[in-house]
Structure formats: C-alpha cells, structure tokens
Amino acid sequence: MGPLALDASVVIALLDGADAHHERAVAELSRREGDPPDLLIAATAYTEALIRPLRDGYGDTVERFLARGPVKVVPIDRSVARAAARLRADHPSLRLGDALVLATAHAREAELLTFDERLRRIARRGRG
C-alpha cells in the first residue's frame, strides 16, 4: 500500500470524538492497519488541524497524534506551490489550502483521505 495523505478534516475528526466524521476517520485508518501506509499531512493541513485545539487549549493532542502515528508533516516547496497554483487556475472555486493539500498528495504519489466531497471529486479527476 502506498502513502496516504491526510486532509485536515480527517485529523480533526480523528482527534474529536464528537466530530460527525470521527467514526468514519477511525474506520478508514483501522482498515489500513494490517499494512500501514506512510501517513503524510501537508504543512497547510497541519496548520488547519491545529487552530481549534490551540484556541481551546489542547494543541498538544495534535502533536501527540503526529508523534504516535507517525505522521510526516510535508513542507510546501516550490514544485508543490506551482502545482497548487495550477489546480487553482483549473478549479477557481478550490480554496488555496485544499489545492496545497491535493498538490502535496500528488507530489508524494499518495492517496488523499478527505471528508471534503468537492476536494475528493477534484482528486479523482486528477487520477484520470
């Protein structure tokens, strides 16, 4: 099994038992436990996943999850930034953060795990 890129929506759902997608997030990662993939998260998704925990005083939870995973935080480099710009040019309604997440997944040849249906549709078209 190849690498798996986690969108912020997945990390947020994993860490918040009250999140509407919590059970689904746990199930998605659990079904991959027999042959665990390399888990990746774009630096932008990492940032997004930290906002609420930092605001509410439990930012260390995200750090513990990343350390336990282990989940590799992938920095945004020039080629990923350019690919994200191309995605935004082709899909004007795509938010920059989502374009960066998708471009990171493409650059690492990773499957994207997201609960954002629009982002999932765009990712599927890219695999074409």
Residue-range domain boundaries for the chain: 4-127
Q: Model-level pTM?
A: 0.88
Which pLDDT value is given to residue 77?
96
Phi, psi of 112 (to 5 degrees): -95, 125
Which pLDDT value is given to residue 70?
78
The C-alpha torsion from 97 through 48 and 22 to 101, rounded to 10°, is: 30
| pLDDT tens-place string over residues 35-79 | 667 899 999 999 999 999 999 998 898 888 888 877 899 999 999
Which pLDDT value is given to residue 33?
65
Query: Are the beta carbons of 96 and 76 closer than 8 angstroms?
Result: no
27-60 burial: b if 16+ Cβ within 10 Å, else e: ebbeeeeeeebebbbbbbbbebbbeebeeeeeee
107-126 burial: b if 16+ Cβ within 10 Å, else e: bbebbbbbbbeebeebbeeb
Q: How far apart are CA 63 and CA 59, in angstroms?
A: 7
Query: Are the beta carbons of 89 and 97 closer than 8 angstroms?
Result: no
| Domain 4-127 in CATH 3.40.50.1010 | yes
Q: Residue 128's pLDDT band (boundaries 50, 70, 90)?
A: very low
Q: Region 90-115: what's the mean pLDDT? A: 95
Q: Give the 3-state secondary structure of residue 40.
A: strand
| pLDDT tens-place string over residues 6-36 | 999 999 999 888 999 999 999 988 887 666 6
